[in-house]
Amino acid sequence: MFLLLTSFILPQHMNPAAETKKWVISQNSNLRVNGSTNVNKFTCEILAYDQTDTLILNKSKSDKEIALSGSVSLKVLSFDCHNSIMTHDLQKTLKQKEFPCLHISFLSLNKLPVLSIRPEPITGRVDIEIAGIRKRFDINYRISVDAQKNIHLLGSQDVNFSDFNLKPPRKLGGLIKTNDKLNVDFHLKMKNME
């Protein structure tokens, strides 16, 4: 009876059966957005993540998936498209003045990664919030650890401007138009804080 009661009362991270890990995201993490128009291609990057956030992994014996908590907030103003005009255009499209940050919330992983030098494919669920609209995505990651014990989480996901109720920029009455699809690549560098 006591066990039955405490299983409801104790939060999951205090459950002795659960395995918890903390990964601290380092400032060398980066994110790249690749897009195209009908006249050119562009790449916009945030080369240095300027905050230190923590991801908490929680595996309980009963669950197949690994619960993740933690998020990263990226300043839209930090995007650099290597062309001031393109940079300004992207920031305008992402409604930077109304929504200065985009957010990626990590929700789960399909398994607890082994963490070896060899990149391990793994899938995870994230919520991406851009311009105030939140969408859920299943992302294919590759996770590995280097000699300095840095954890590298590389992910890639196609998203559409329209997923976030954003209109891709169009010029000259639509004769020049940005394609709806964007490819988002990110590389999180993290340290295990057991």
Partner 1 sequence: MKKILISGLIAGCILFIVSYGGLFLAVKFFPGLFIEYNNPLFNSDGSRDVLFYLHAFIISFALSWFWDRFKGLFKGALILRGFEFGLVYSVIALLPVMWISFSALDITVVMVVSWFLYGLVQAIIAGLVFAKINP
* Spatial separation of the C-alpha atoms in residues 163 and 186, rounded to whole Å: 19
* Spatial separation of the C-alpha atoms in residues 75 and 27, rounded to whole Å: 14
Amino acid at 108: S
Task: Select 133 or 176, whichever has its Cβ closest to partner 1.
Answer: 176
89 binds partner 1 (CB under 8 A): yes
Q: Which stretch binds partner 1 (CB under 8 A): 5-13, 52-60, 88-96, 111-119?
A: 88-96
97 binds partner 1 (CB under 8 A): no
Q: Which stretch binds partner 1 (CB under 8 A): 47-55, 108-116, 137-145, 169-177?
A: 169-177
Strand-pair category, 19-25 with 54-59 = antiparallel
Contact 76, 61 (CB under 8 A): no
Position among 5, 9, 147, 174 found at the interface with partner 1 (CB under 8 A): 174
Task: Select 58 or 93, whichever has its Cβ closest to partner 1.
Answer: 93
* Spatial separation of the C-alpha atoms in residues 30 and 24, rounded to whole Å: 14
86 binds partner 1 (CB under 8 A): yes
Backbone dihedral angles phi then psi of residue 100, each to the nearest 5 degrees: -65, -20
Contact 41, 28 (CB under 8 A): no
Position among 28, 47, 171, 179 found at the interface with partner 1 (CB under 8 A): 171
Position among 13, 82, 88, 97 found at the interface with partner 1 (CB under 8 A): 88
Cβ 163 to partner 1, closest distance in Å? 18
Position among 1, 117, 147, 175 found at the interface with partner 1 (CB under 8 A): 175
Cβ 113 to partner 1, closest distance in Å? 40
- With b for 16 or more beta-carbon neighbours within 10 A and e for fewer, the 133-152 pattern comes to eeeebebebbbbbeeeeebb
Site map 14..53 versus partner 1, x via CB under 8 A: -----------------------xxxx-x-----------
Q: What share of residues in the chain are helix, strand, coil (percent, to 5)?
A: 15, 50, 35
Binding site for partner 1 (CB under 8 A): 37-40, 42, 85-86, 88-89, 92-93, 167, 169-176
